[in-house]
Amino acid sequence: MKIDSITNGIVIDHITAGKAMQIYHMLNLDALDCSVALLRNVPSEKMGKKDIIKIDEEIDINLDVLGYINPNITVDIIKNGVVAEKKHLALPKELHNILKCKNPRCITTTEQDIQHIFRLSPSAGVYRCIYCDTKAAD
């Protein structure tokens, strides 16, 4: 299999094996009008297996989505065929409109214009809705 190198674009690396499709959908990469390569179960010395996503265009990526899925993901910005910038992620303190509250009594269920906001509870390591305190679905 041959995947061409990227001249200008983004490489999302160190994705937990099997999570690339989730990222693909959450970032709406299917709506892009450029080449997107999704590599699954790539051998890795550190991780055993990993997934990689290559995007052949510079776009804005929601780093909070990536940090939520796996804070060990790295994002490489490629310019003129070389890594110009490497971003290391962390768990975001808040998630805005990434998750939806599953509580049917939450105000976000009835009010259409309210943002879905989840805040990280550092002691428990889970995200909770700021309106009703419901734990985010896994």
Domains of the chain: 9-88 (3.30.70.140), 94-129 (no CATH)
Q: State how far the Cα of 68 lies from the Cα of 127, in Å rounded to an integer.
A: 9
pTM: 0.84
CA dist 33 → 19, 22, 54 (Å):
22, 19, 14
Structure-token pair, residue 60: 């804005």
**Tens of pLDDT along 86-100?**
999 999 999 999 999
pLDDT score at 22: 93
Give the amino acid at 38.
Answer: L
pLDDT number for residue 112: 84
Span 5-22, pLDDT tens digits: 888 999 999 999 999 999
Q: What residues contact 53, with CB distance under 8 A and at least 6 apart?
A: 11, 12, 15, 20, 23, 24, 29, 36, 37, 38, 39
